[in-house]
Amino acid sequence: MDRRQFLKMAGGFTVVTAGAALTGCNSGVNGGETPDDFKLSTWIQQSVTPGTRQTRPGEGRFKYPQSVSAGDPKSNSLVFWTRVTNADGSDGEIPLKLAISRTPDFRIIQVYDVVAKPEADNTVRVKVEGLDPDMHYFYVFVADRDVSPTGRGRTLPEATADVPRLKLAFISGIAWDYNHWSGLSMLTNDESEFDYLVLLGDAIDEMVPLPDIPTNGETAAHRPLSLPDGMAVAGLGTAAKTLADYRYLYKTYRTDVRLQNLLARYTLLPMWGDREFSTDHWQDHETYTDANAVQTDRRRAATQAWLEHMPVDWTDLQFDATASGAHNVRLYRDFRWGNLVHMMLMEQRLERSDHAIREDLPHAPLNLSGPIGARHMVDQDAQAANGATATLLGSAQKSWLLDTLGATTSQWKVLGGECGMMRFAIDASSNSNVFNPNFRRRYLLSADQWDGYDAERRELTNFISAKGIKRVLSFSGQGGFFAGEVWRDYSALRDPVMLEFSSGAISSPTLVERIKTLVTQQSNGDYSSMLTLLGDGGALDQILGEQSSSWIKYTRSGIRGYTVATFTKDQIAVEFVRLAEALNGQPPTTPFLGSTALVVSADTMNITFSGDK
């Protein structure tokens, strides 16, 4: 068999080329048999078939503690991932094979030799090129006699293909000890199977919280975290600091069987979020303190661990481990499902400018420093006066986004990212329930979202409007369920240029919960007045519904869950799936709390409520 294999980059990323077709190759890269004359294809078939007696049982010398995953598909390639270790804990390189097949019985396979190296924490990513479009591939890794769990990946259709239907699931916000992870099993076991899984950020939470911080979560299912090094953060806990810390978090999260099963079954399209490094971070600046100190080494460690533990295509990401400084990686990229959907995944942290109002200087509402009034619950007038030149995307990514939007011919144009694009405003200027008059202002709920970068948002929306680009959608993961219109200019008359659907986090604090936590941490007790504005999620939803109903069509800010969207040429159907809360560290007996169905017609681009469950 003709196979070309070469090392494309350092760090456990290998590019190989498939032959013209998957044939009955029985073992190694050159088609020969292993030294003991055992046919590898037969061994794999026996390993993946339940109830079959294995003639060459695995000896348990090698383990796959984080299972397998596949991701970053193209019409002719997939990236396959695993992590393999010596069972006795010893170090050293581990030779292994990747076997792929079009059928789950592995009757016909192709096999590629790769090596897991300690410098990449024994992770491997194998990009296989030359695959067929819109095809499921089943795969396993084999180290000597030990076979990994079976995974399944799917390539994209060709760019010119006529695709009648596509179903995507969107998740974000995975925290080890917050709420519960039952939603991952719901996604995996849902009989109405979706096509691809999109992660809109926050694959981990970099913070191990203090014992007295309520998490209401996975304490019964998850062992306590203990970072190898760690960095104490006053009032919060211990944050990951070193590469060893971040690797520890990713490895630990991926030991959860529910997450393993989901990633083994569905092809992953992941994006970086703020909790991978520091909540609300910008570039390589932490946000635990008002100083927003530069922590380049820490951010580089966080990014490296993310890249090592995600099935991502390093040739697309342009990762350069040898580059100095903070700007050593590009994460934004796009995926296209023929003439139906073109999705542009935006990275919204690594190149953004600082929030327009500095945390370390006095600011409204009480002329004090801190995140409240700077990142969240920001005075609208002060934000407008200071945010004219702020960028969320950076110049290179913005140019890429505009060029891609302007050139695509797919029916639906999807912008995927962590941050919400709609305006979220609270007018408390005449609210008599706020006992401190200083809080009677007009607020932006969060300047960490696109509201804090309005000039760049208007640059994007004006471009869409001027070019006459139709059927543009935003899917975001800002920590609450929201649906509505993104206007060209929220200070002008209604002129929507896209629709937005924001998904709740699957197992981490909601946006309103995070803001309330910051409010309570402010050193001045008068900030408690602001809690009357936020209330619980229901109170905020009522305010947004009353004051922003011109563009916000649905809001459930205090709920966790995930989103599933089904695209056809005529419409999209969006389902917000809400999860019940954990109680005393135990998941609910029935994790499904309810769902809301919304429909958008391609002709009218209006959001229609379709029903609740």
CA-CA-CA-CA dihedral for 585, 252, 288, 429, to nearest 10 = -50
Dihedral sign for Cα atoms in the order 64, 175, 188, 78: negative
Comparing CA positions, the residue from 397, 352, 356, 246 lying closest to residue 308 is 246
Distance of CA 431 to the CA centre of its chain: 37
Structure-block tokens of residue 357: 């109002």
Q: Which of these, 142, 147, 96, 89, lies nearest to 117 by C-alpha position?
A: 96
Sheet arrangement for strand 268-270:
4-9, 13-17, 123-129, 77-83, 68-74, 268-270, 196-199, 165-171, 560-568, 571-579, 592-601, 607-612
The answer for residues whose C-beta is within 8 angstroms of residue 406's C-beta and 6 or more apart is 463, 467, 469
Judge residue 6's burial from the number of C-beta atoms within 10 Å of its C-beta, 0-12 exposed, 13-18 middle, 19 or more buried. Answer: exposed
Mean pLDDT per 10-residue run, the chain (613 residues)?
A: 37 77 41 47 83 68 97 98 96 95 92 94 96 97 93 97 98 94 94 94 95 76 94 95 98 98 98 96 96 96 96 88 81 98 97 95 93 95 88 97 98 98 94 82 96 96 98 96 97 95 95 90 79 78 93 94 98 97 87 97 96 84
| Per-residue pLDDT at 537 | 67
User: Which three-class secondary structure state does DSSP give residue 543?
Assistant: helix
CA distances to 127, 395, 489 from 493, rounded to whole Å, are 49, 29, 8
> What pLDDT, on a 0 to 100 scale, did the predictor assign at position 129?
96
d(CA 17, CA 93): 23
Q: Please tell me the distance from the alpha carbon of residue 371 to that of residue 432, in angstroms, as a whole number.
A: 25
Instruction: Check residue 36 and give its pLDDT.
Output: 40
Taking a C-beta distance cutoff of 8 angstroms, is the pair 343, 416 a contact?
Answer: yes
Number of helical H runs and strand E runs in the chain:
12, 32
State which H helix or E strand residue 376 sits in. strand 376-379
Tokens of 4: 């070309």
User: Among candidates 596, 577, 564, 508, which has minimal Cα distance to 180?
Assistant: 508
Three-state DSSP at 315 gives helix
Return the percent helix, strand and coil in the chain, to nearest 5: 20, 30, 50
Question: Which residue has 């990946």 as its token pair?
Answer: 153
- Residue 265: which H helix or E strand, with range? helix 257-265
37: DSSP letter = -
Both tokens assigned to 569: 């040429």
